[in-house]
Chains A and B, each alone.
Chain A
Amino acid sequence: MLFNSIDFVIFLPIVFLLYWFVTNRNLKFQNLFLLIASYVFYGWWDWRFLTLIAFSSLIDFSIGNVMGKSHSKLKRRILLILSLCVNLGLLGVFKYYNFFVESFEQAFTFFGNPIHANRLNIILPVGISFYTFQTLSYTIDVYRNKLEPTKDIISFFAFVSFFPQLVAGPIERASNLLPQFSIKRVFNYEKASDGMRQILWGFFKKIVIADNCAVYVNDIFDNYHDFNGSTLLLGGILFAFQIYCDFSGYSDIAIGVSRLFGFNLMKNFAFPYFSRDIAEFWRRWHISLSTWFRDYLYIPLGGSKGSTLKKIRNIFIIFLVSGFWHGANWTFIVWGFLNALYFLPLMLLHKNRINTNTVAEGRLFANAKELSQMGITFFITVVAWVFFRAENVSAAFSYLSRLFTKSLFGLPDYMGINIMYLGFIAALIVVEWLQREKEHGLEINPSKFSKPLRWSMYLMIILVILVFGNSQQEFIYFQF
């Protein structure tokens, strides 16, 4: 089920009312209800893949429990490896099998020995990368003795499939989300109202900005050989806004919906385009994935400790794996590689943690230095996004080679863009700039604004969404 669909508009109030008024007397019953609602939410897309989530949940629940009872280091390690093999194996089969087959074929053909291997005719289960990583975090934390294994199978299944964040995150840690299923949730008006505001802002970003940008981005990227450099730059910039608003919009809706049910999810985006360097960007972009890789891959590899060579190796591993997580295509790997290249000088010069605060903290405007830093960071990010969006690596290079020509300094020759949508992007930038120290773009202190003013603002945003929104496009991150 898509958040931006009529189905969800009907589904959410029904689940909300049943959750708080019918099932609230018994915690187990309430969790069971959440589990059923989550499976309905997911099954709306394709019920057959529910077995996959259930299987993954059952494996990790069982492994966690056996691991919890065992004091043998070897046995615990074997159980961890088993969990990794099952989860990553499923991910590998559904997401990466065809990619590896094709890459091997191409490699053999290149060396003069063409081969043909069978491909799997399967579709990628929505959100598999997200819930796989979520359930893995549980097993790893139990293995590390950071978390007690849960005995409550309903809570665990509900934790893995919790519908607001099931298909596109935030990727929750078991240590944060799982305990929330064990305590009685109490409705909090302020929290729920703020959740509604966050949902509204998420819908604005997704439906008004991302889905409208998608029209122009598709047009420019599909016909890039017909356009001049400045148009291609515009295409890259619009894609930067599309992917940000698509993904952070989803996260906003997910976090907001969770708050309606009394849950707190982790922050996933912290206004990343106001970053002054690429290290700051990665602390603000898809935070749940970055910190997942940091905690479960980068630090175990040695992190930023050890020899320079080891540090470089670790950086490349984490960025390449992160790129590969996004999809079975060389474009994502090159995207990851490029980000590693951007990041490396900062790390080697020990400048990767100089911008840990919010830009222009306590001031309304950024100074010239900060502006230029943000501009440069945004520009190199756009260049990397070209790889992320392109059909293949050669198309990305071709796009960039056309972009970096004299025509980059001319006027864009793309006539199709509606100036109103550029206005909405400008409004987004202004609002997010003013709110950059807050949790989300619409976080306000209700006591500072009169009710009519607040409600007028909500109504205006709702009308903009309904009137100018593009309809029911899937979220980009569903494919990951």
Chain B
Amino acid sequence: MKKFIKNSIKIFGITVVTVVSLVLITHFVARHFFDFTIDQNKNMLVVGSSHLEYAFDDDIVPQAFNVSQSGSGYFYSYLKVREIANRNKQIDTVILGYSYEDFSEYRVNWFSADDKIKFKMRDHFFLFTFNDYIDLLKSNPKSVITHTPQVIVHSLKIMLKGYPYLGCYIKSDRDKLKESLNKYDPNYYINKRNKAPKYQDKYLLKIYDYCQDNNIKLILLNAPIHPKMDKDLQANKKLYCDFASEFMPNATLINYSNYFDDDSYFGDISHLNSKGAQIFSSHLKEVRFLSSLVKCSD
């Protein structure tokens, strides 16, 4: 019996040491060999979730570099801003996705839910500091521990695949508007607690603070959504506006949520297709990110 327990503990110990070592080694390797450099002419960093991933074509706005990605909460946007802006000093503007949907209560899951931890942590782990890891660990210890070994392969993978793996503009020919309208339930999106979702607020403010500390202009951009959804999500507008004015007074809020009223610009209820993205991006370029269609005072 003693021999069995001794051997079991030994194997467990060896496994833990091996996994921790591999995680740390691959983190170090990926962090040092990932090519963070972006074109010197690009001074605008675009971060956010699928809204900007599908809406902001950085080929049309040449000074912008879009690393938005579906399902990215503000935690992951914060990591990208911090690490990319730190290494690319020409970045003087951050365009951050900031939508009514970001204030939906379910967005708390974008930090601590199992599936988000599983798919997001492994790809962004090389951007983590020890404190980032501890914060995530505290939110969902079981999931973080279970998924930590998987960062070993993904840290190496991202080093080879580069920026597109972290996020980019996606030209979408998706035609799922009808389907998404049928499935759509506004109650899922409407914030009834009148409070910004946990973690989202924390990392949103961290992005703001980072930009303030580094003299980077922060533009909060609300990309167009389908008129039906836009109408329903007016319920989140007050919270959305109040949060920006109260906690991020120096950020510029640009709201284009009701920019399109024609179905042909949408791939689904909350995302533009390539046709919509082209028109929207061209418009932003034309107005030089200076005007907002919807104002909080409206």
Within 8 A of B (CB), among A1-34: 5-7, 20
Sorted from nearest, which 6 A-B pairs have the closest CB atoms? Answer: A466-B149, A6-B142, A467-B149, A187-B1, A462-B15, A467-B152
Q: In the complex, which of the residues A5, A6, A7, A455 contacts B11, with contact meaning CB atoms closer than 8 Å?
A: A455
Q: Is B153 among interface residues, defined by CB-CB distance under 8 A?
A: yes
A462 to chain B: closest residue by CB: B15
Interface residues of A in 407-463 (CB under 8 A from B): 455, 458-459, 462-463
Question: Given contacts A192-B4, A193-B4, A471-B118, is CB(A466)–CB(B19) below 8 Å?
Answer: yes
Taking a contact as CB atoms under 8 Å apart, the answer to whether B146 and A196 are in contact is no
Could you jot down 9 A-B contacts, CB within 8 Å? Answer: A5-B142, A20-B1, A189-B4, A455-B11, A458-B11, A463-B149, A466-B150, A471-B143, A472-B114
Chain A CB within 8 A of B147 CB: yes
In contact, B11 and A471 (Cβ under 8 angstroms): no
Q: Which residues of A contact B19 (CB under 8 A)?
A: 463, 466
Q: Is B14's CB within 8 Å of the partner chain A?
A: yes
CB distance from A232 to the nearest CB of B (A): 23
Q: How far is the CA of A472 from the CA of B146 in the complex (A)?
A: 9
Return chain B residues, CB-CB under 8 Å to A472. Answer: 114, 146
Q: Does B8 contact A (CB under 8 A)?
A: yes
Residues of chain A from 187 to 223 with CB closer than 8 A to chain B in the complex:
187, 189, 192-193, 196
Q: What's the nearest-Cβ distance from chain B to residue A203, in Å?
A: 13
Cβ B146 vs Cβ A467 within 8 A: no
Interface size on B, residues (CB 8 A): 22
Q: Which residues in chain B, 139-179, are within 8 Å of chain A measured between CB atoms?
A: 142-143, 145-147, 149-150, 152-153
Count of chain A residues with Cβ under 8 Å from any Cβ of B?
20
Secondary structure at the B interface, as helix, strand, loop or mixed, is: helix
Which A residues contact B (CB, under 8 angstroms)?
Answer: 5-7, 20, 187, 189, 192-193, 196, 455, 458-459, 462-463, 466-469, 471-472
Enumerate B1-37 residues with CB–CB distance to A below 8 Å: 1, 3-4, 7-8, 11, 14-15, 18-19, 22
Known: A6-B146, A189-B3, A471-B147. A463 touches B18 (CB 8 A): yes
CA distance in complex: A20, B149 (Å): 32
Write the chain B residue with the least CB distance to A192: B4
Smallest CB–CB gap between B122 and chain A, Å?
10
- Asked if A459 and B18 make an inter-chain contact with CB atoms under 8 angstroms apart, the answer reads yes
Nearest Cβ distance between residue B232 and chain A, in whole angstroms? 29
- Chain A residue numbers with a CB within 8 Å of B14 are 455, 459
Cα distance, A5 to B145, chains bound together (Å): 11
Separation of A277 and B146 alpha carbons in the complex (Å) = 41
